[in-house]
């Protein structure tokens, strides 16, 4: 994929996420690795519904801003995934309503944020780590992700929003949508004692689809 194609893909996917209400206003940020080893990143204060391919923040392989607008203040969040997970080709962060709501619930498992309601979140995300609340832009978020030693492709920032790393930008967007859908199901089923996947069914999924699960 050429850099021009990657710029267009980032903006197209971001616009789709915005149009379906998965992040609103000027919230959320997205980044992707270029063929040269640099990054394209959504600018600070930008709206997912109106990203300009030509104005994306462009970093070289040494993480120096070489053109484009000033990047999102959440750069430490993105950089932490690229540094700690070698296979990361893209990172997406949203302020998605249902996952934020689920992060506030007292019964949530911090080590395994999403309950096993369907196979797809397990297949696309593995275990999602719930991190504590940080002030937006706090570099400590990046440190917390690095502290996971590359073992998680997705985290949930409490009272804030999900962050997902993927091999490429479309995969990262698909995975973060699965995270939000599963959180929505969890909120809908709260108080209904739903029949979840059993431990044996989860183990079978992990083995069949080679899911990182620890």
- What CATH number is associated with residue 130? 3.40.225.10
d(CA 93, CA 164): 7
Tokens of 29: 């940020």
Residue 161 CB: number of other CB atoms within 10 A? 25
Over the stretch 28-76, which tens digit does the pLDDT of each residue have? 999 999 999 999 999 999 999 999 999 999 999 999 999 999 999 999 9
Whole-angstrom CA distances from 115 to 22, 25, 100, 175, 204 are 20, 29, 15, 16, 16
Tell me which residue range forms the domain holding 182. Answer: 3-208
197, part of any domain: yes
**Structural domains counted in the chain:** 1
Residue range 124-137: mean pLDDT, rounded: 95
> CB count, 10 Å around CB of 104?
9
Residue 214 covered by a domain: no
Residue 213 maps to a domain? no
pTM for the whole thing? 0.96
From the candidates 74, 177, 178, 180, give the one annotated as an active-site residue. 74
> pLDDT tens digits for 132-178?
999 998 999 999 999 999 999 999 999 999 999 999 999 999 999 99
Do the domain assignments include residue 202? yes
Reply yes or no on whether the pLDDT at 214 is more than 90: no
82 is catalytic: no
Q: Report the C-alpha gap between 157 and 141 in whole angstroms.
A: 8
**Exactly one of 82, 83, 120, 170 is catalytic; which is it?**
120
């Amino acid at each position: 994929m050429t850099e021009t194609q990657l710029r267009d893909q980032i903006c197209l996917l971001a616009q789709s996420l915005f149009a379906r209400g998965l992040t609103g206003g000027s919230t959320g940020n997205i980044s992707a690795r270029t063929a040269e080893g640099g990054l394209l990143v959504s600018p600070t204060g930008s709206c997912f519904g109106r990203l300009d391919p030509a104005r994306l923040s462009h970093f070289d392989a040494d993480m120096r801003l070489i053109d484009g607008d000033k990047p999102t203040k959440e750069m430490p969040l993105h950089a932490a995934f690229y540094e700690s997970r070698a296979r990361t080709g893209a990172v997406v962060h949203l302020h998605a309503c249902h996952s934020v709501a689920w992060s506030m619930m007292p019964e949530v498992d911090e080590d395994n944020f999403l309950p096993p309601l369907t196979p797809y979140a397990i297949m696309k995300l593995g275990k999602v780590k719930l991190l504590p609340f940080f002030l937006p832009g706090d570099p400590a978020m990046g440190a917390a992700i690095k502290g996971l030693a590359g073992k998680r492709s997705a985290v949930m920032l409490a009272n804030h929003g999900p962050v997902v790393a993927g091999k490429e930008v479309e995969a990262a967007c698909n995975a973060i949508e699965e995270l939000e859908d599963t959180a929505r199901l969890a909120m809908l089923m709260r108080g209904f004692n739903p029949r979840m996947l059993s431990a044996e069914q989860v183990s079978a999924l992990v083995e069949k689809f080679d899911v990182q699960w620890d």
